[in-house]
Amino acid sequence: MSKNKELIIISKSESKDIVDLNIEAALNLIPYVGGFLATYFGETRNKKIAERMQKYFTYFSNRLNEIEDKKIDYEYLKSEEFAEFFMQGAEQAARSVTEKRIKRFANILINNALVNSKGRSRTQSIMSFVDRISDLDAFILLSYGNPTAPSLRAQTKDESVDFVKKLSEYLGIGCPKRDEIIEAIIYMDNLGIMWVNEKQADELNEKGKDVILKEFSSFRTPLGDAVVTMISPPEFYLDDIKNEGKLPGDYVSQKYQGIGY
């Protein structure tokens, strides 16, 4: 393990004092913001906020330490721009009510820290979009496959649900309800990160639930692809593993099987 990575490890000790000290040491390695966040974290009297920020810091540190040294842009980690985004992520994590949401903001920073990061120029807008989507929305976005591969397109609502179902089965988590999935897709269409084409029947006598959908197609927009690239853990998708029917497009890495993302 490199000296760089030794500096950013956060202890898994059960002692809160030891954990807090290691978090403070890790944060102080990020110029411009480390001292401020360490002080904020140390002074907060809200237990839930403290727990959320600790999860954010710990997840960020652990994930970063799983990445090969050559893939990490250590110079960018020291930049004022990274510090600003890291602080925004911490503040949004402090307001997050689910652990998955906390991880999404941490993943944005982890992906920004990679040498080949392509999303830095859009980080501000992506963080804004991520602040508006739910755990279900994010899971659906991931279900549409690798954002670096040709976009998957669901021709029917059932195919859209099938994407989510297959990823749910692969990760070993429960599949959301059909109506919830469709409603989330329509919501993300309004945000501009999914594209939905829905055409109703022409017959005038068909109303309400009797309306037959003649056409339904959905896929991620380029913005949706950019969001997925930033919110999924590094190497969540593996290009070199061929599809064998478990997941449309590419498999997700075995490392993340069962994480519930």
Rounded to whole angstroms, the Cα distance separating 247 from 222 reads 21
Residue 109 contacts residue 82 (beta carbons within 8 Å): yes
In 66-207, which residue ranges form alpha helices assigned H by DSSP?
74-77, 80-94, 99-112, 123-130, 135-143, 157-171, 178-191
Residue 15 has pLDDT above 50, yes or no: no
Residue 80 has pLDDT above 60, yes or no: yes
Lowest mean pLDDT among 23-32, 115-124, 227-236: 23-32
Rounded to whole angstroms, the Cα distance separating 180 from 128 reads 23
Buried-state track 84-93, b at ≥16 Cβ within 10 A, e below 16: ebbbbbbebb
Element (H, E) at 219: strand 213-220
Q: Among 29-33, 137-141, 147-151, which range has the highest average pLDDT?
A: 137-141
Q: Among 105-114, 146-155, 199-208, 248-257, which range has the highest average pLDDT?
A: 105-114
What domains, with CATH codes, occur in the chain?
Answer: 3-130 (no CATH), 135-256 (1.10.10.10)
Residue 43 has pLDDT above 60, yes or no: no
Q: Which residue has the higher pLDDT, 41 or 135?
A: 135
* Interacting residues of 51 by C-beta distance below 8 A, sequence separation 6+: none
Q: Which residue has the higher pLDDT, 138 or 74?
A: 138
pLDDT at 218: 92
Q: What SS3 class is residue 200?
A: strand
Question: What's the pTM value of the predicted model, to 2 decimals?
Answer: 0.77
Rounded to whole angstroms, the Cα distance separating 62 from 246 reads 28
